[in-house]
Amino acid sequence: MTETIFGSENEHWVCPSDRQLALRAKLCTGWSIHTFRSERQRKAQTLEKRELDLIMSVIHRAEQLEILEQHRIGRLVERLENMRRSAVGNGLSQCLLCGEVFGLLSSSSVLCLDCCMKVCTKCGIETAGSQKRAQWLCKICTTLGTLDFSLLYDQENNALHCTINKAKGLKPMDHNGLSDPYVKLHLLPGASKANKLRTKTLRNTLNPVWSETLTYYGITDEDMVRKTLRISVCDEDKFRHNEFIGETRIPLKKLKPNQTKNFSNCLEKHIFEQIERVNDSERGRIMISLKYSSQKCGLVVGIIRCAHLAAMDANGFSDPYVKTYLKPDENKKSKHKTAVKKKTLNPEFNEEFFYEIKYADLSKKTLEVTVWDYDIGKSNDFIGGLSLGINANGERLKHWFDCLKNKDKKIERWHTLTNELPGSGYND
């Protein structure tokens, strides 16, 4: 988009490009730029070579520290494997690790809280209990294993790709000394079935290799600042509850857009944190495409997919579908509805609806989009909605304007659903 210049030669005002508008919106500044001021500010804020060199040295030092940490973790895992192989005791009358016999005249024993095997005080580690009473873990149980994975934030497509590569040295959870591990992901705060992803389960192994990529859609720059990814490794049991092995957490603000970052983290026990209140008005997200077709003389509305919808049914899921209206709608003929997607909080629709309308009349119209949960035998539940049009604001207004000024071009955007029903006169 070219910039339009207004004013005299001495005082130019510029209508900025779309990219400048997005940047200035984040900085809470105005809709136009006074050119001589912006140029003066730009020169005043330019970093000197010495400052740039200092910043680069800090980044380089941080990268070196991360490499050293990965080497340290590798040495710990190797040490743990050697410890497991050299365990010589029975864990009852002898120390599980060193084989020392317990008795009145010899070493005293302590019971490992996790594996319930006895070890001597030299081979155990004392931890603080919940009731201010000492609890012990053997040196094997204090290390739960390591997990190798990588994360990539695709900023253009609002997607977070999580590739789970492999785990090493997992804690045995079954009687055969092995585990049936799988990995599950949650976004915090607000962990729920709507943002839960999981890998397949691998049987009878302590060193599983998944090489599986799980993707979150509808991730915004704001999410990357305030959200944390929790990665949990669990053991699947057919006849009992699945057992937790360990977890690791990654604040998403550590990631750089469009750059893959690799991790090799030691698993930890459950990490308890203060529960952060989630915005109750946020009911999920929807991806919508708009295109005005000059050939067909009408508006093409695409309902592509939803993400992280609110659960409306007792099973923790919903049966969502989407309705659209183009208002004002005097003849009440503008209603369109997608198919119902069963038992999901992340449905994919890929449906398009056509509204025959003159281009000049679009500026007087409002597109209302609502998401519903289908129920048999009772009223359907409203999940969330939004309005796009001249009276909208923020990204919704910008989406509408982008459609108006780019004929025959499909414009896709993610939008947040709220619990306010657009056009309260329309019920399902």
Q: Which two tokens stand for residue 316?
A: 């923790």
Residue 105's contacts (CB-CB under 8 Å, 6 or more residues apart) are none
- The tens-digit pLDDT sequence of the chain (428 residues) is 454 544 555 555 555 556 565 555 555 555 554 544 555 555 556 778 888 888 888 888 888 877 777 776 666 666 666 666 666 677 788 887 777 888 777 778 888 876 778 888 877 777 655 455 667 777 666 667 889 999 999 999 899 999 999 998 888 888 887 899 999 999 888 767 778 899 999 999 989 999 999 999 989 888 899 899 999 999 998 877 888 998 999 999 989 999 999 998 888 776 544 444 445 556 889 999 999 999 999 999 999 999 989 888 888 889 999 999 998 877 778 899 999 999 999 999 999 999 999 998 888 899 999 999 999 888 899 999 999 998 888 889 999 999 989 999 999 999 999 887 776 444 55
pLDDT at 215: 94
pLDDT at 276: 45
Query: How many residues are present in the chain?
Result: 428
**Amino acid in position 305:** R
DSSP single-letter state for residue 268: B
- 3-class secondary-structure state, position 394: helix
pLDDT at 29: 54
**What is the DSSP secondary-structure string of 120-186?**
ETTSEEEEE-TTS-EEEEETTTT---EEEEEEEEETTTTEEEEEEEEEESPPP-STTS---EEEEEE
In angstroms, the CA 127 to CA 178 distance is: 26
pLDDT at 79: 63
Residue 332 parent element (H or E): none
DSSP single-letter state for residue 86: T
Query: Is the separation of the CB atoms in 285 and 308 below 8 Å?
Result: yes
- Give the side-chain half-sphere CA count within 13 A for 2: 2
pLDDT at 190: 72
